Structures are given as C-alpha cells and as structure tokens.
Amino acid sequence: MKVLINVIIRFHFVFLFIILEIISIRMVIFEDLEKKNAYFSSANAVSGFFYKRLDNWSAYFSLAHENEMLRTENLELRKSINKNKRTELIDIVKSDTSKTDSEKYTYIPSRVINNSIYKKQNYITIDKGFADGIKKDFGVISGKGVVGVVVAVSQHYSLVVSILNNRFGIGVKVKKSNHFGSVHWLKNNYRYASLFEIPNHIKIAEGDTIVSSGFSSIFPPGINIGNIAKFKTNQSNNFYEIDIKLSTDFKNLYNVYVIDNLMRKEQISLENEVKDEY
C-alpha cells in the first residue's frame, strides 16, 4: 500500500494530465452532434467487427425466439406486398401510401448488432454499410414502425440515430385526421415519446394511431410511430400535451429495414434550389 501511495505521489502530474486529457476529448466529441457522428463513423468498422462477434454468440442462445419472431414478421410482410409491383420490392407501408409512393422506395434488410436505450442520446449499429448500398440519411424501420435515421456509414456497418435520442425529431400526423406535428423523445422510458404541435381544437382520443407524415425525403407516409397513450390541453398555448406509446419495442429490436428513397436526390435538389431566394 505504501509503495502504491509513493507511486501516485511521484507520478501525480502524469495521472492528472491523463484524466484532464480524457475529459477534454469527451467534451469536444460528445457535446457536438456533428463531431460525435464523425467520431462514430471512423470507429464504426472496428467497433462493428467486435459487436458482430458478440451478437453472433448471443444469437446462438436465442435461435428459437428469433425464428418465431422472423416467421411472424415474414407473415406480416407477405400480407403487405403489393401484388402489382416487382416481388423484390417489400411494401411494408400499411396505410394510404399510393402506388407511386410504393415505387419510390426500396428496402434493405439488416440486423441490429448493438443498441442502447438508457442514454440521453441513443444509437444503434447495424450490419450493413456502403457495400450494401446504404448511405447517410437513409431511414430505418422495423416490422412494427420507425426506428431512426442513418448518421454514419462504413464499408460494412452503419450507425443509426434512434428515436430514443433527445436531439432527434420526426414529422408525424394523426392517421385519422391527417393533422401533422412532430415526435420527440424526452422521457427516460424507452416505450414512450412526446407528440407536439397538435392544436387542441382537433378531436383526438387515447389509442389514436400516429404515423409518419411523409413530408421529409427519408420516410414514406404512413409508417407507424405509435399510439396516443394519454393527453391533456395546455391552456397557455392552445396545443395538446400528448404522450404516445412507440410501436417499436427498442429492447427487443433485432431485424430492421433501411429505406432508400429513389427520388430523394431530385427532391432535395429542387428544394435547395430556391431555399435561399424566397
């Protein structure tokens, strides 16, 4: 014990330097979303390799559960295939998406190999990357609903910012009325999020379905987000305060689909063309 104390006293400046260096790096990287995404992108290939090995080991012990889940999900996917489209285009949009919309999107199946749900900013790693056609800003969904958006990509892995991230928001609408708002995760509970911008003169009820609005170039319209769990009127701003139960169970998330909007480049190009003029 005396020897350890002597070592600490002798090298205390070195130890102090290392601790301060670690704190500085963390502040630079993890307090800025852009730097954080760049960090994750460069680390993706290395971390993805190890996550893949750990995932394969754990998956071995849950094959029965996985097979049952895949059978159920495949059955739902078969029911939602548009018979008039090419068989390789998986249409999992179960609402009012038009035929034209269905032709705009392709779906790349992938597997979750790392996932966090208890942090303020949660991310998911999947086992597909550039080599599989995935790019930054592609949407990610599960068989139940929206999962998140790709924010960093390496050759064989991608990092997804989850709905369970207090810096992430998604445009949504109330399915029965088409009134639109936005969903943000401000809770500590991975099953619930908050819905904003729904005026209190709109009739809503517990259980109402909330789906993607389709206003962005990332998600098709009509992808499930969740259902209204409870709400109350905020008299100060004439909008509801709404809690929704998310459709996707992020604690039981293994199989996902990455969405490629084939018309995305054209849409963004047109919108950016006049953005600074009007």
Strands 146-153 and 139-141: antiparallel
In angstroms and rounded to an integer, the radius of gyration of the C-alpha atoms of the chain is: 22
For range 62-70, the mean pLDDT? 60
- CA geometry: angle 23, 25, 26, nearest 5 deg: 65
Cα–Cα dist 266/152, whole Å: 22
Query: In the predicted model, is pLDDT for residue 124 greater than 90?
Result: yes
Higher pLDDT, 63 or 128: 128
Closest CA to 242 of 170, 176, 181: 181
Cα–Cα dist 223/58, whole Å: 30
Which tens digit of pLDDT belongs to each residue from 167-200?
Answer: 999 999 999 999 999 999 987 899 999 999 999 9
Q: 193 φ, ψ to 5°?
A: -140, 175
Residue 83 CA to its chain's centroid (Å):
29
Cα–Cα dist 174/169, whole Å: 16
Structural domains in the chain plus CATH codes: 51-262 (2.40.10.340)
Higher pLDDT, 110 or 42: 110
Pick the range with the lowest mean pLDDT from 42-46, 162-166, 179-183: 42-46
| Residue 200: both structure tokens together | 């209190």
| Residue 234: both structure tokens together | 């905020």
Query: In the predicted model, is pLDDT for residue 159 greater than 90?
Result: yes
Query: In the predicted model, is pLDDT for residue 92 greater than 80?
Result: no
Q: What is the CB neighbour count within 10 angstroms for residue 145?
A: 21
Q: Across the chain, what does the average pLDDT equal? A: 79
Query: In the predicted model, is pLDDT for residue 95 greater than 90?
Result: no
Closest CA to 206 of 231, 181, 184: 231
Cα–Cα dist 17/8, whole Å: 13
Q: 131 φ, ψ to 5°?
A: -60, -20
